[in-house]
């Protein structure tokens, strides 16, 4: 062991936390330039902030109340929804709840639905009605009377304010669809058009997400309420994932495209909403919130289900449990996936050549290869590119098989 010797190496230790989770760790960098390390770290943070995946939705809760005094008043006020307004529901109970809540009713009579005596069935139907009908704005929570015949709903806005906002949303949805959807479009083209519109006009509300995170995603300060409904993205042009997903659903409904809102978690523990769209006979996954990224744009546009599960983990709240399997996305179909459609998908042994060509032309490149790409495989691709480019400004990363490389400053 006499041939071993100690060598002094300058190392920067970078503690980190995965946003929205409890996961922490340390990254280490060596062989850095002391003169530029602070600026380099600042630039790295700015880039990572830009790349950060965006989630954020609120959970409305259901509780049981012993106050049955309201039961005598628990009669439907006769809310009517126009034939043009689509209701998404998988049961008569879910449809009834959707219609009454869309009208802003706070007391719902359940006496005509004996199945509502089962709290499990009632909550399941209520969640589906709430998530799949985005014109039900700002549901704050619900209470079930102990006799099981009355549901009390609380909203963030008054009934008058909700109906006013609904009118603004409907008008905007109609206008947008007339602008972006053409009569001869296929379902796939409609989906792409809606995704492109939302990623173009909407800005993610980081402040709203931070506020929701502080409150454990149960509530937000009043000024952020709209950022969790379609009003945020469609009218204010700013919102979190719940706003993107509900806006997508409304635009899809108007465009006669079958779509649903999906609930679950993004990258660990961050509550998240996205969509599924029916293209042909299969459901496809689209996450407009995270497709809105300048570097790896549309990375989650029709990604196969098995690959999407790496970052998008579904729960069972968004539709009635017995119908969950109905909306399963294909695990293998890649024909509709954005990088395949745009001819930007290459096998691992060919992608380096294409990346080099784009870097020489544009100074940056974003192409996709195998969804299961790992660090070692990315390293091989990067080395091939670096040996050809011969630039100390080359940098990049990968995410779910999308390789992004850039020549800084070019």
Three-class secondary structure assignment of 266-283 = ECCCEEEEEEEEEECCEE
Q: How many domains does the chain have?
A: 4
Same-domain pairing of 241 and 97: no
Which pLDDT does position 191 carry in this prediction?
A: 98
Tokens of 11: 């190392």
Tell me, yes or no, whether 316 lies in a domain. Answer: yes
pLDDT tens, 147-192? 889 999 999 999 999 999 999 999 999 999 999 999 999 999 999 9
Domain boundary among 99, 130, 155: 155
**Coil, helix or strand at residue 213:** helix
Tell me, yes or no, whether 6 lies in a domain. Answer: no
Residue 124 confidence (pLDDT) above 50 = yes
Q: What is the average per-residue pLDDT within 119-134?
A: 96
Split at pLDDT 50, 70, 90, the class of 41 is: low
Distance of CA 158 to the CA centre of its chain: 27
Name which of 330, 340, 335 is nearest 401 in CA terms. 340
Tell me, yes or no, whether 2 lies in a domain. Answer: no
Q: Would you mind telling me the total number of residues written for the chain in this entry? A: 410
Same-domain pairing of 324 and 366: no
Q: Which of 9-18, 72-81, 266-275, 387-396 has the lowest mean pLDDT?
A: 72-81
Split at pLDDT 50, 70, 90, the class of 215 is: confident
Tell me, yes or no, whether 3 lies in a domain. Answer: no
Q: pTM, whole model, 2 decimals?
A: 0.82
Same-domain pairing of 174 and 310: yes
Expressed as residue numbers, the domain containing 120 is: 61-155
Would you say 196 and 244 are in contact if contact means Cβ atoms under 8 Å apart?
Answer: no
The rounded mean pLDDT for the chain is: 85
What is the residue whose two structure tokens read 């790349």? 51
Name which of 274, 273, 260, 252 is nearest 188 in CA terms. 252
Integer Cα distance of 9 and 125 in angstroms: 61
Same-domain pairing of 218 and 304: yes
Split at pLDDT 50, 70, 90, the class of 220 is: confident
Integer Cα distance of 226 and 182 in angstroms: 30
Same-domain pairing of 184 and 262: yes
Q: Count of CB atoms within 10 A of residue 406's CB?
A: 19
Tell me, yes or no, whether 196 lies in a domain. Answer: yes
Residue 268 confidence (pLDDT) above 90 = no
Q: What is the average per-residue pLDDT within 338-352?
A: 97
Tokens of 164: 């006013």
Tokens of 390: 């011969």
Integer Cα distance of 48 and 336 in angstroms: 29
Same-domain pairing of 129 and 229: no
Tell me, yes or no, whether 127 lies in a domain. Answer: yes
Residue 20 confidence (pLDDT) above 50 = no
- Which CATH number goes with the domain that contains 292? 3.10.620.30
Segment of 19-23, 48-52, 99-103, 213-217 carrying the highest mean pLDDT: 99-103
Same-domain pairing of 359 and 328: no
Q: What is the average per-residue pLDDT within 118-133?
A: 96
Would you say 319 and 125 are in contact if contact means Cβ atoms under 8 Å apart?
Answer: no
Same-domain pairing of 129 and 185: no
Integer Cα distance of 385 and 360 in angstroms: 11
Same-domain pairing of 38 and 177: no
Integer Cα distance of 410 and 396 in angstroms: 14
Name which of 154, 143, 127, 161 is nearest 57 in CA terms. 127
Tell me, yes or no, whether 70 lies in a domain. Answer: yes
Which pLDDT does position 392 carry in this prediction?
A: 84
Q: What is the average per-residue pLDDT within 322-344?
A: 95
Query: In terms of DSSP bridges, do strands 150-155 and 139-145 run parallel, antiparallel, or are they unpaired?
Result: antiparallel
Would you say 80 and 100 are in contact if contact means Cβ atoms under 8 Å apart?
Answer: no
Integer Cα distance of 7 and 13 in angstroms: 18
Residue 386 confidence (pLDDT) above 90 = yes
């Amino acid at each position: 062991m006499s041939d071993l010797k100690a060598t002094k190496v300058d190392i920067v230790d970078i503690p980190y936390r995965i946003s929205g989770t409890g996961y922490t760790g340390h990254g280490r960098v060596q062989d850095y330039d002391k003169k530029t390390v602070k600026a380099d770290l600042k630039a790295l943070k700015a880039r990572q902030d830009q790349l950060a995946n965006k989630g954020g939705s609120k959970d409305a809760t259901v509780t049981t109340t012993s106050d049955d005094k309201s039961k005598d008043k628990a009669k439907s006020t006769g809310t009517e929804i126009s034939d043009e307004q689509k209701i998404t529901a998988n049961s008569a109970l879910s449809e009834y709840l959707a219609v009454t809540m869309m009208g802003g009713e706070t007391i719902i009579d359940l006496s005509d639905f004996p199945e509502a005596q089962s709290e499990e069935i009632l909550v399941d139907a209520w969640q589906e009605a709430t998530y799949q009908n985005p014109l039900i704005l700002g549901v704050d929570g619900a209470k079930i009377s102990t006799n099981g015949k009355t549901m009390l709903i609380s909203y963030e806005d008054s009934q008058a304010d909700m109906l006013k906002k609904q009118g603004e949303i409907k008008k905007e949805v109609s206008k947008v669809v007339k602008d972006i959807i053409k009569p001869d479009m296929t379902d796939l083209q409609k989906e792409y058009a809606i995704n492109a519109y939302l990623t173009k006009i909407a800005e993610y509300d980081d402040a709203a997400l931070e506020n929701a995170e502080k409150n454990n995603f149960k509530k937000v300060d009043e000024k952020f309420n709209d950022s969790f409904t379609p009003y945020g993205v469609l009218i204010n042009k700013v919102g979190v994932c719940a706003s993107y997903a509900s806006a997508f659903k409304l635009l899809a409904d108007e465009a006669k495209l079958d779509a649903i809102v999906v609930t679950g978690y993004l990258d660990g523990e961050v509550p998240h909403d996205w969509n599924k769209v029916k293209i042909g006979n299969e459901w496809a996954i689209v996450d407009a919130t995270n497709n809105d990224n300048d570097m790896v744009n549309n990375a989650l546009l029709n990604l196969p289900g098995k690959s999407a599960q790496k970052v998008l983990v579904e729960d069972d709240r968004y539709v009635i449990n017995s119908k969950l399997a109905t909306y399963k996305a294909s695990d293998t179909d890649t024909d509709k996936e954005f990088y395949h459609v745009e001819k930007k998908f290459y096998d691992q042994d060919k992608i380096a050549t294409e990346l080099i060509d784009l870097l020489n032309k544009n100074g940056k490149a974003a192409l996709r290869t195998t969804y299961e790409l790992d660090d070692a495989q990315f390293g091989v691709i990067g080395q091939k590119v670096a040996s050809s480019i011969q630039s100390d400004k080359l940098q990049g990363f990968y995410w779910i098989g999308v390789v992004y490389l850039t020549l800084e400053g070019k």
